[in-house]
Amino acid sequence: MMKISNYLICASAAVMLSCSIEKKDSGELPEIDLAIETEAGELPEYDVDWADVNVGTRTKTIKVPKVVIVMEEEEVEVPFLDIDMPGTKADVEERTIKVEAEVSQYMHKIDIQKVYATGNRLIVISEITKGKDTLKDNRVRISDQIVLNAPDDLTVKHYIIGDKPEGGFNNDYKYFKNESDLSGKVENAKLIYQG
């Protein structure tokens, strides 16, 4: 009996420390008749005010895991052009001509198909094709490149055949539906590379 009383006292103390209690009625103990007759007693009534709890949402900046596609360096064979232009006095240097695009939804492939030369300008024609592998919510940059020894004053113009991917990154190049749309762009130019 003593253990139960101790537990009740501890439990009562814990409740009283964690909430606000207001006594509503004084209550009374049961009356005991010596003939062992008893009348029902009445326990005190309490109005317990518990803490108000509001549930909702709020915006907070947190770190969440994201899938990152990492570009790794790897030794591969790339086309190399050695251009010797008659009548030019510009210094010759090794240059990398690179075309790239940023794609989403589906993986794509981009390849440099042809390089034309005219005057002091190179015209690079690439083709972008959509693959079957999905990227889900990721964006990936794809690229292709060639290396050339050429005068350092050559300008490079890029044209890409295929559908332009979404996104501002892809605004650096002009996109065409097919190669026949480019016929006026390469008139009188010499084909110097075909992939």
9 part of a folded domain: yes
Judge if 32 and 118 occupy the same domain.
no
Q: Is the Cβ–Cβ distance between 166 and 108 less than 8 Å? A: no
What are the DSSP E strand ranges found in the chain?
20-23, 32-33, 37-38, 46-49, 80-82, 92-118, 121-151, 155-161, 174-176, 190-194
Burial class (CB in 10 A: 0-12, 13-18, 19+), 112: buried
Please report whether residue 100 resides in a domain. yes
- Please report whether residue 57 resides in a domain: no
Q: Assess whether 42 and 99 both reside in one domain.
A: no
Q: How many domains does the chain have?
A: 2
Whether residue 44 is found in the same domain as residue 97 = no
DSSP letter for each residue of 14-57: HHHHHSEEEE----BPPPEETTTEE---BPPPEEEEPPP-----
User: Do 91 and 146 reside in the same domain of the chain?
Assistant: yes
Would the pTM of this model clear 0.75, i.e. be above it?
no
Residue pair 159/189 in contact by the 8 Å Cβ criterion:
no
Please determine, for residue 5, whether its predicted confidence score (pLDDT) is greater than 50: no
Residues 124 and 173 occupy one common structural domain: yes
Tell me the per-residue pLDDT of 40-80, one tens digit each, with 9 for 90 and over. Answer: 777 777 665 555 545 555 566 655 555 555 567 777 777 77
Confidence of residue 1 (pLDDT cuts 50, 70, 90): very low
Does 35 share its domain with 115?
Answer: no
Q: Are residues 100 and 162 in the same domain?
A: yes
Evaluate whether residue 43 is within a structural domain. yes
Same domain, 45 and 86: no
Q: Which residues have a Cβ under 8 Å from the Cβ of 61 and sit 6 or more positions away?
A: none
56 located within any domain: no
Per the listing, tokens 């899938």 go with 67
**Domain, as residue range, for 159:** 80-194
Residue-level pLDDT at 52: 55
pLDDT value of residue 73: 75
Using the 8-state DSSP alphabet, how is residue 154 labeled? -
- Kindly state whether residue 75 falls inside one of the protein's structural domains: no
Q: Is residue 65 included in any domain, yes or no?
A: no
116 and 185 co-located in one domain: yes
63 in any annotated domain? no
Q: Are residues 39 and 100 in the same domain?
A: no
Same domain, residue pair 171 and 103: yes
- Over range 114-143, report the average pLDDT: 89
Res 22 pLDDT > 80? no
Q: Are residues 86 and 165 in the same domain?
A: yes
In angstroms, the CA 104 to CA 140 distance is: 6
**Quick one: pLDDT at residue 174?**
92
